[in-house]
Amino acid sequence: MKKRGFGYGCIFYGTGYGNGFPDISRSIAELDTKGHINIYVGATEVGQGAKTILGQIAAEALDVPVEIVTLIHEDTSITPDAGTAAASRQTYNTGNAVKISAEELKKEIIVVAKGLLNEDHLEISNGVIRSNTSDKTLTLKDIAEASGGGFLRKDGIFQANTTEMDPETGQGNPYWPYTINAYAVEVEVDTTTGIVDIIRAACSQDVGRAINPSLVEGQIDGGFAMGLGYAIFEDINLDKGRIKHNRFTNYLIPTALDMPEIEKIIVEDPESTGPFGAKGIGEPVMIAAAPAILNAIYDAVGVRLTEIPVTPEKLLKALKKREG
């Protein structure tokens, strides 16, 4: 018999290293001789989109087209340390460092422009330096050339706010900011085979501010898939310290056929300490998926599975036990 059920899960997630550990990102913003912007950061693009959104942050802070911004992150000998691509920290921490370096570079560009134009009220708009009081303009290339053919370079450094907790009571402010994630899922359980099918899902994801909504959505889909695997498939299956599921023939991860459509809702509540209000989401997007699925299984068949993954064998055993 096939039975359907609904379940919810919600979580909070403290981003960053936490517990007072120095959580520092560094960035260098540079105007090169072509009038293009280079951002140097030692942040890894692991697929999450860091390379894209850090460029967007720099472009926004400088008010230049995103196309003229290049992220350079692949070489330790030319990039400053931006910490690890983990703890959902690159958007918030390195994003802040990039924003600070870009803002400093912008100030420097304006200083050079003031000297060239003999005007005091200047701003950058879409990559062009304009006067507020006349129709004089300068390009970024003009600024680069006026700087003697050298590069204008400015540093940005950001340190996250975290304190060490009391060792006896655990009291303190270990993380900041916190990101919220909530999932709702509908499952269909086949009580004959024990197979759980995820019929549909919805996600509401707190982002502070979405730097790139499409990338946020991609993270949600991917996070849900990993949570789905965690809930019903994945276990390396240890036998006296030996991994028995050590290949894709026996360590099952979700395929396209296992994934439901997900209604993705991005909730924006800008965080004042984040770059343009943004917070990290890379881990939170996964977390509430598995508990929502477990609650939905209970709603469908009335048994609580307290051990994951809920494989067909485990589920059938639990159903049988209840019938007793």
The reply on whether position 40 binds other proteins by CB under 8 A is no
The reply on whether position 16 binds other proteins by CB under 8 A is no
Q: Which amino acid is at 58?
A: A
Let me know: does 203 contact 228? Beta carbons within 8 Å.
no
Please give the Cα distance from 49 to 58 (Å, whole number).
14
Closer CB to other proteins, 86 or 146, in the complex: 86
The reply on whether position 63 binds other proteins by CB under 8 A is yes
Residues 131-160 that bind other proteins (CB under 8 A): none
Residue from the set 40, 92, 158, 183 that interacts with other proteins by CB under 8 A: 183
Angle at 181 between CA 173 and CA 252, to 5 degrees: 115
Residue from the set 142, 298, 312, 316 that interacts with other proteins by CB under 8 A: 298
Minimum distance of other proteins from residue 66's CB (angstroms)? 5
What are the strands, taking DSSP E only, across 109-220? Answer: 122-125, 128-131, 137-139, 152-159, 178-190, 196-208
The reply on whether position 282 binds other proteins by CB under 8 A is yes
The reply on whether position 73 binds other proteins by CB under 8 A is yes
Closer CB to other proteins, 87 or 112, in the complex: 87
Residue 223 sits at φ, ψ, to 5 deg, of -65, -40
Let me know: does 7 contact 185? Beta carbons within 8 Å.
yes
Minimum distance of other proteins from residue 268's CB (angstroms)? 8
Minimum distance of other proteins from residue 134's CB (angstroms)? 19
Distance, first Cα to last Cα, the chain: 18
Among the listed residues 224, 230, 231, 232, the one whose alpha carbon sits nearest the alpha carbon of residue 195: 232
Please give the Cα distance from 199 to 43 (Å, whole number).
37
The reply on whether position 111 binds other proteins by CB under 8 A is no
From 30, 234, 283, 307, the catalytic residue: 283
Residue 196 sits at φ, ψ, to 5 deg, of -105, 130
The reply on whether position 276 binds other proteins by CB under 8 A is yes
Residue from the set 20, 35, 222, 312 that interacts with other proteins by CB under 8 A: 222
Q: Is 283 in the active site?
A: yes
Minimum distance of other proteins from residue 148's CB (angstroms)? 28
Residues 246-265 that bind other proteins (CB under 8 A): 246-249, 251, 253-257, 259, 261-263, 265
Angle at 107 between CA 106 and CA 113, to 5 degrees: 90
> Catalytic amino acids?
283
